[in-house]
Structure 1
Amino acid sequence: MNWKLHKTVVLVGMMGAGKTAVGKALAATLDVPFLDSDAEIVSAANMSIAEIFERDGESFFRARESEVIARLLEGQPCVLSTGGGAFLAKRNREMISTHGVSVCLDASLELIWSRVRNKDTRPLLRTANPYETLRDLYDTRAGIYAMADISVEADAKYSIEDMSARVAKTLLSRPDVLERGDDA
């Protein structure tokens, strides 16, 4: 199928919501580039996000994150996965709204916990009680993620491809963002 993407699709939501996996599948479906703001930061800094947090702190990381998102939004329309905290900054939300469309992958706390509980790559969960920390983050962030232009509910029964198809179908409701091409 031929697609015409007019604006960058910026996937937002909690860590473990599926932004990277669904983003890669969606980009492949739409035949556009997939970019990941966290991967771009890691590449530029030549260190992991956890190392950046440890060495320079979260505020330094968030400033670099905003710079990277701004740069990526200037390029051709693509699918952009952002870190879980990126959408919390008002300036990032405004940039994304102006230059793209935000899509929240809305996953329940239980689903997110099932995906992140056995991973040590989440610096914000390196606490004495990671579930409680995750719950607090979830409670704090849910209202902000609800500000996204579009929200697509995640479910454990959906495969990555199912979620990608659900996002694409939802995006088709926004002809300013996505249209089927002539041969569709």
Structure 2
Amino acid sequence: MLQSPSSHPYPRTITLIGMMGVGKSTIGRRLACRLNMPFSDSDIEIEEAAGQTISEIFARFGESHFRDGERRVISRLIAGEPKILAVGGGAFMDEETRQLVLEKTLAIWIKADVDVLAERITKREDRPLLIGHDIRTRLQELAAVRDKFYAMAPLHVWTGAQPHEEMVDAIMMALPR
């Protein structure tokens, strides 16, 4: 893990929430380096635990089964040492997962306009909730449902086309000391 000599680990897990494509994983890795903390991505941890991709889990078992496993993995990750944790876009929709994140971590909602998300997501084909849908329309539908839940996070940071390092700077400035 890259470390900055002037950085100090944050005393609790910081969980990055928000829509798919907003940059939680990329921003999270950079934030973890800046804060001298480990980084975990719940989607990667789920795939490793299941021995399948998220798309395969969705196709084989459905979203409900996936969310149950996601909740267990996130609970395990939160119970460990403080870290930067990026969670999937739908994780925060599960009431138990949401309560766990809000009670045990500092949740940060990384927000972006649907146009920004659509631009980023069109480059990837592994988003099960988008298969068979117009990407922009589906993102608008998901945001209409999810944003009120994401808004429960104590910190909100907007992202757009700026470099990820600027997002890390914005989060660093927003962190309570």
TM-score range, shorter chain: over 0.9
Measured after TM superposition, the shift of residue 117 of structure 1 is 1.7
Measured after TM superposition, the shift of residue 104 of structure 1 is 0.4
Report the counterpart of residue 91 of structure 2 in structure 1.
86
1:104-150 CA-partner distances (Å, limit 9, x unpaired): 00111111111002310111110142321121111111111111111
1:83-114 CA-partner distances (Å, limit 9, x unpaired): 00001112111111221110000111111111
1:7-38 CA-partner distances (Å, limit 9, x unpaired): 10000000001100000000011111000000
More RCO (CA 8 Å, sep 6+): 1
RMSD: 1.0
8 Å contact from structure 2 (residues 109, 151) kept in 1: yes
Gaps of 5+ in 1: 176-184
TM-score by length of 1: 0.90
8 Å contact from structure 2 (residues 115, 136) kept in 1: no
Gaps of 5+ in 2: 1-5
Counterpart of 1:91, as a letter, is: E
What percent of counterpart residues are identical? 37
TM-score by length of 2: 0.94
Measured after TM superposition, the shift of residue 5 of structure 1 is 0.9
8 Å contact from structure 1 (residues 127, 133) kept in 2: no
Query: Runs (4+) of structure 1 moved beyond 6 Å?
Result: none
Report the counterpart of residue 165 of structure 1 in structure 2.
169
Report the counterpart of residue 112 of structure 2 in structure 1.
107
Q: What is the distance in 2 between the residues matched to 1:19 and 1:154?
A: 10
- The total of aligned residue pairs comes to 172
Counterpart of 1:118, as a letter, is: K
